[in-house]
Structure 1
């Protein structure tokens, strides 16, 4: 992976398995946009969420030319939260690339003809 990757764990111990999976997922992001300047991934388990069990939140922040893209995923399983966050990140990147290429669908102005 050419893009600098920073991984942060909050309120839980770093997991080698999660780190490896994050590295794989982050490397795949470059297939959708080769101009990613930086990628930051935060894996956390917020405190005080006892009604819904132990939820994991994964946030993926990407710096790209023209802006900052952020995607996140929340789930009771850390790997499922990771998958949801990176799926959302891919959608954000695809939207960003479409906007950069001006591939966004444009609506024709309505013609106001009287008959």
Structure 2
């Protein structure tokens, strides 16, 4: 990675364990998909909702060379996101799906250019 990963915690205490989990996940994604120009992750615990418990919101912004930004903004609708680990799993899964689409598009464009 060209610049260090920025991890922020809003509305909840900083957790070294969660930060370590995030950094490990980013390392695995980078090994699979290549380098990134920037990466910001925000773990947020907004005020308690009157209808649901406290749900974690995970926002991820990654810069991919030649493709712009890969962005995931969690809206906090999934009741399973009361567990930060589940919220992180879902957020990084969504980012990987976006990266798969970008790489598939690149491969298709390269195949068309060669033909």
Q: TM-score range by the shorter chain?
A: 0.7 to 0.9
What is the aligned-residue RMSD (CA, Å)? 2.2
Structure (1/2) with the larger helix percentage = 2
Distance 2:93 2:3 in 1: 18
Separation (CA, whole Å) in 2 of partners of 1:36 and 1:43: 20
Aligned residues: 105
**What is the TM-score when the length of structure 1 is the normalising length?**
0.80
Question: Structure 1: which 4+ aligned runs deviate by more than 4 Å?
Answer: none
Question: Where does structure 2 lack aligned partners over 5 or more consecutive residues?
Answer: 110-115
For the residue of structure 1 that corresponds to 2:47, the secondary structure is coil
Pairwise CA distance, 1:82: 0.5
Q: Which residue of 2 aligns with 1:86?
A: 92
Unaligned runs of at least 5 residues, structure 1: 104-115
Larger Rg: 1
The answer to whether the aligner puts 1:5 opposite 2:5 as a matched pair is yes
